[in-house]
Amino acid sequence: MFYSAPRDCPTTLLCPHCQTPLHIARSCHEVFMRCPDCEKRFPLKDFISQADAAMEEFMENVYCDRI
């Protein structure tokens, strides 16, 4: 398998604390939103209703990897 799926991808959603664009990122079994500026992490479920195209694509890759 190619090592092509990104582990961290910029999105258009803004950090609730500092308004920096958040990144969507994943660890082994978890996907979360993180702020590159204030280093805070946020649960994905808090942002899923506003998911942008970058997030949709990222999540598709995550689910493919699990199979």
- Which residues 16-55 are close enough to bind Zn ion by CB under 5 A? 17-18, 20, 35, 37-38
Q: Tell me if 58 sits within 8 A of 45, measured CB to CB.
A: no
Smallest distance, Zn ion to C-beta of residue 10, A: 13
Residue 64 binds Zn ion (CB under 5 A): no
Residue among 17 and 45 whose Cβ is closer to Zn ion: 17
How many residues are present in the chain? 67
Q: Tell me, what amino acid is at 11?
A: T
Q: Tell me if 25 sits within 8 A of 8, measured CB to CB.
A: yes
Which residues contribute to the site for Zn ion (CB under 5 A)?
15, 17-18, 20, 35, 37-38
